[in-house]
Structure 1
Amino acid sequence: MSTEGPIWALGCMSGTSLDGVDAAMLQTDGNRILAFGETGFRPYSETERDVLRGALGHTSGREVEAAAEVVEIAHAELLSEFPEAELIGFHGQTTLHQPDNGVTCQIGNGRILAEALDRPVVWDFRTADMQLGGQGAPLAPFYHFALARMLEMSEPVAFLNIGGVANLTWLDPGKARPETPGACLAFDTGPGNALIDDLCKARTNRKMDVDGALTRAGAVHEDVLTGLLSGSHFFSKIPPKSLDRNDFADWSHAVGHLSTADAVATLAAASAGAIALGLDHCPMPPERILVTGGGRLNPGLMELIAGLSDCPVEPVESAGLDGDMLEAQAFAYLAVRVLRGMPTSGPGTTGVAAPVGGGQVSRPSGTGGHLAG
C-alpha cells in the first residue's frame, strides 16, 4: 500500500440503533475526499439484535463475548463483498461509553477481521483519545470538516447526526485544518432515536417509528417535556461532551403513562429540544444544519428540529451526500489518517488535551483466514 497519495478505504459502522452494519468505500489521502465508492448494508436479525441488547451496559462476560461474535461475523460477511478495499476502518459495536469514568467499550476484534479478510484493519479508535483526557467521542467531526471543504462551503455549518444518540458538529470550513483552534466544535446533544426505537419495540413490536407516523400523530405533553429537558445538568454542561446510549433511560419511565403516540411525540420533542439547547453552545449560528443518520427519515422529528432552529434544517442528501453511509465513510477516512499518523480528534471535538491520532492497525499474517458463521 502506498505511503502517499490516495487509498481506497472501506469504512464500517454498527451504531447504537442496532439495526445492522453499514459499509462504504471512500478514496482519500487522509486530507481530501477524492471519490465515493460502493456501499452495502447487512441487517442484524431479531435474534442477533437481542444478543447485542444483552451486552449493552457491560464490558465483559458471556453476554459481551456472544455479542462480539455476532459483530465479527456480521462484519466479515459484509466486508468480504469489497475485495478492492486496500484498508478497512472498523469501529465495532459500543456496549458502554462512560467517558467521565474513563470507560468505553467497543466490541469486535480488529485482529480477527484482519485475518478473516486478509487486509489491514484500523480499529480501537477511542482509547488513545481517552487516555489523554478526551471524551473519545464523537469521532466523525474531522470527516465532516473534509466534506465541507470538498463542497467548497465558506460559512459555518453544522452536521447533525441522529442515531441512537444525537451529536452535533459545528465547523468553520475557512480554517486550515480540522485540528486548527476554532475549526471544529463537536458534542453529543442528547438522545436521538434510541428511546423512541425502544418504546416502539416494547409497545408495537416494530423496531422504529416508521416514517414518523407516531411522532406526527401524537400530542406532545408539555409538562412532561419541560421536566425532561430541565431534569439533567448535561444540557448546560460546556462541550465537548458525550453520552452512553442508556444515559437518559429515565425518560422512558417519564412517558410510561402516556399513549404510544403521545409518548413517541413527547420523546421526539425532547430530542429536538436537546438539539436546540446544543446549538446554543455553538460559537455562532450555522448557516445551515445538515442532518444525517436515521433520524433524518422521521419527518415529524425533522419538523420539530426545524421549528426550534433559526436556519435551514435539511437532510445531507440536499448537499449530494449519503445520509445512510456518512458514518461508515467517516471511519474509512479516519483509518487512512491513523495509517499516516494524522490526528483524528482534537480539543474542540472530544476535549482531548492535544490533537491525537487514535486507533491501532492490525495486519494479516499473510495466510488469510475466516470466521465460522
Structure 2
Amino acid sequence: MEYKVIGLMSGTSLDGVDIAYCIFQQKENKWEFKIEKAETIEYQEEWRKKLRNIENSTAFDFVKTNIEYGIFLGNLVKNFIEKNQINPKLIGSHGHTIFHQPDQQITCQIGDGAMISAISQLPVVCDFRKLDVALNGQGAPLVPIGDLLLFSDFPICLNIGGIANVSFDLNGIRIAFDICPANMVLNFLSEKKGELFDSNGKMAKNGNLDEELLTKLNSLDFYNKNEPKSLGKEWVFQKIIPILNDSQISIEDKLRTFSEHISFQIAKSLQKLEKSLNLLITGGGAYNSFLVQKIQEKTHHNVVIPSKEIIDYKEALIFAFLALLRKNNQINTLKSVTGAKKDSIGGCLYFN
C-alpha cells in the first residue's frame, strides 16, 4: 500500500519553508520512500522579520501571527498541490519553533494546524513535540526515528541546520541530541557582511582562528551535559551571541572560529563511536564545503554527502513520515532519544 504525504519544515536558520511530497511503502516490515516533488519557498523579509522577533510580541499579536502563519502554510501547500497536480492524503507540519525550553516543559511551534487543514482540505498533523515534553522529555530531536526506519544504511546521521544534531545507535539503542548551534549563528554573522549566508564557507576560510574566542565557546556548560539534550534559539541569544558581540575580531575571523567550534563539537560528540562508520551529512551545512572539510579533518568517520534532494528535504520527508506514523497510531517519538518517561505517538491531528 502506498501512503502519499506532504511534509512541511521550517528551521531556525530562517531560509524558508521546505515542502516535500513523499510516497511511503512498507515491504516485509521495512519502510521505503520516494520524494516525488519538492520545493523550498524562501521567506520574504517580512516573514523573516516576524519569525525572528515574535517572542517579544504581545499575547494577542502572538496568537494572531500563529494563525496568519497557518494561513501562509496552508496556501503554500494548496498552491504546491495545484502546480504539481498531485493527490496527497495527509500533511505533516513541523511549524516554526519560537520557544523551546524543555526544562520548563515549554515548547512552541507556530503555524495553526486547523488553518492548514481548512485551506488544504486535508488532514494535518502538527505540534509533534508537546506530548514528549509533557512526558518530561526534551521534545527533540524527533528526526531519529526516521533515521532508524528510513536511513538504516547510514550508522550516523548528522543534520547541520540552524542547530546541528546527530543520531546513531549505541549498544543497540538509538540515541540522538542537539550538538551545537550551526547555520543560525553563521547566518547571523554573514548578515553583518550583507550576505544571507556564507556560501561554501568562503568568508570563514579567509578568516583567522581566534583561540581565545574558541576556548570561550567550547567552555559553555551545555557541552558538558550528557544526552538527552536539546537547544533552543533562546539559549543561542543568551549564551553565544553575547560572546561573539564582545569579541573585537573581524566577522571573517568570527566565522572561521565558529566553524572550528562547530566541527570540534561534532567530532567530540562522535568520539564514543570508536569504529569508523559512514557519517551522512544533510541540511544546509552540507553545502558549506569549508565546514565539511573541518569535520572530516577532526573525525575518524567517513563523511558521506548525499543527493541534493536528501540534503535539502530529509527533514521535511521525515516529518511527513512522523505524520503517517501518528495517523496510523504507531510510535513516532523515542524515549531513548528524548529522555521521556515512555515512547509516544506525538502530534495533534486535524481531520477535514
Same fold (TM over 0.5): yes
Could you tell me which residue of structure 2 aligns to residue 367 of structure 1? Answer: none
**1:15 aligned onto 2:4:** no
Q: Residue in 2 aligned with 1:162?
A: 160
Residue type at the aligned position of 2:250: S
Change (3 A) 1:139 1:355: same
**Secondary structure in 2 matching 1:37:** strand
Match of 2:115 among 112, 128, 138: 112
Deviation by residue 1:331-352 (Cα, 9 ceiling, x = unmatched): 1100110001111111221111
Q: Is the 8 A contact 1:51 1:63 kept in 2?
A: no
What percent identity do the matched residue pairs reach? 31
The equivalent of 1:342 in structure 2 is 330
1:290-321 per-residue CA deviation (whole Å, 9 max, x = no partner) reads 1111111111111111111011123233xx86
Q: Judging changes above 3 Å, is the alpha-carbon distance between structure 1 residues 14 and 309 closer, same or farther for their aligned structure 2 residues?
A: same
Is 1:145 paired with 2:174? no
Give 1:79's aligned amino acid: V
* Residue in 2 that maps onto 1:43: 42
Secondary structure at the counterpart of residue 13 of structure 2: coil
Q: Which residue of 1 aligns with 2:231?
A: 243
User: How well do the aligned residues superpose, as a CA RMSD in angstroms?
Assistant: 2.0
Distance, in Å, in 1 between the alignment partners of 2:320 and 2:236 is 30
Distance change (3 Å), C-alpha of 1:209 and 1:62: farther
Per-residue Cα deviation, 1:252-273 (whole angstroms, up to 9, x for no partner): 3323311010011111111112
Aligned match of 1:277: 268
* Among 333, 354, 363, the residue aligned to 2:321: 333
How far is 1:62 from its partner? Answer: 4.5
**Structure 2 length-normalised TM:** 0.91
Q: Would you identify which runs of 4 or more consecutive aligned residues in structure 1 move more than 6 Å? A: none
Matching residue of 1:177: none
Please state if 1:297 is matched with 2:300: no
**Structure ranking higher in helix proportion:** 2
Task: Give me the whole-angstrom Cα distance separating, in 2, the residues matched to 1:57 and 1:343.
Answer: 35
What displacement does 1:286 show?
A: 5.5
Letter of the 1:274 partner, please give it.
Answer: Q
Relative to the length of structure 1, the TM-score reads 0.86
Distance 1:259 1:140 in 2: 36
Deviation for aligned residue 1:88:
0.3
Q: 3-state DSSP class of the match of 1:247?
A: helix
Residue 284 (structure 1) shift: 4.8
Opposite residue 200 of structure 2, the aligned amino acid is D
Equivalent position amino acid for 1:74 in 2? F
Instruction: Give the alignment partner of residue 352 of structure 1, picking from 337, 340, 344.
Output: 340
Give, in angstroms, the shift of residue 74 of structure 1. Answer: 3.2
Match of 1:88? 91
Aligned length: 341
Cross-structure match for 1:267: 258
Name stretches of at least 5 consecutive residues in structure 2 with no aligned partner: none
Distance 1:198 1:63 in 2: 25
Question: Does structure 1 conserve the Cα–Cα contact (< 8 Å) formed by 2:283 and 2:311?
Answer: yes
Task: Find the counterpart in structure 1 of residue 76 from structure 2.
Answer: 78
Tell me, what secondary structure is at the counterpart of 2:19? strand
Q: CA deviation at 1:56?
A: 4.2
User: Counterpart of 1:86 in structure 2: which amino acid?
Assistant: K
Rounded to whole Å, the distance in 2 between the matches of 1:115 and 1:167 is 33
Whether the 8 Å CA contact 1:272–1:304 is kept in 2: the answer is yes
Shift of 1:182: 2.7
8 Å contact 1:182–1:348 — kept in the other structure?
no
CA distance in 2, matches of 1:337, 1:223: 47
Q: What does residue 371 of structure 1 align with? A: none
> Which range moved further: 270-279 or 302-311?
270-279
- Alignment partner, residue 21 of structure 2: 25
The residue that corresponds to 1:195 in the other structure is 185
Distance change (3 Å), C-alpha of 1:106 and 1:229 = same
Alpha carbons of structure 1 residues 272 and 263: separation in structure 2 relative to 1, 3 Å: same
Is 1:218–2:207 an aligned residue pair? yes
**Given residue 20 of structure 2, which amino acid in structure 1 is its aligned partner?**
A
What's the counterpart of residue 315 of structure 1?
305
Q: Would the aligned equivalents of 1:8 and 1:28 in 2 still touch at CA under 8 Å?
A: yes
Code of the residue aligned with 1:267 in structure 2: it is F
